[in-house]
Amino acid sequence: MGFSNHKLEYFSLFVLSGTSLALVLVLVLIEGISNIARSISLGLRLGANILSGHLLLTILCGLLFDFMASSIILFIIGFILLAILLGIVALEFAVAGIQAYVFCILTCSYIKDAVYLH
């Protein structure tokens, strides 16, 4: 987006003022790789946090199902554990909200850098 709006002037974002000409190519290369890595890490972090929450809930639900299916007494005790599991689900909703907030803030910051250059 920054390159399409500003053409070659976009690369001025990667170079500090007063940098010698010999270092400009190296700095542009390093900062370009940094921008790509930043985007990839943002998506991977969001995906890993969502996946880990879903895996935790899947494992705990399967364990609770096996626990409750084994006998009548454990079935009754399982309702207490089900309440705890519902608390973990509420916690996962809170984590999802925080992840969405962080994703939006970081994405807006990256877009601002691309649009306004400095």
Give per-residue pLDDT as tens, 64-88. Answer: 999 889 989 988 888 889 999 999 9
Q: What is the pLDDT of residue 114?
A: 78
Reduced to 3 states, what is the DSSP secondary structure of residue 107?
helix
Instruction: Give the domain ranges of the chain.
Output: 2-9+20-116
Q: What is the pLDDT of residue 61?
A: 92
Q: What is the pLDDT of residue 118?
A: 63
Query: Whole-model pTM?
Result: 0.68
Below-50 pLDDT ranges, the chain: none
Q: What is the pLDDT of residue 115?
A: 82
CA distance 87 to 84: 5
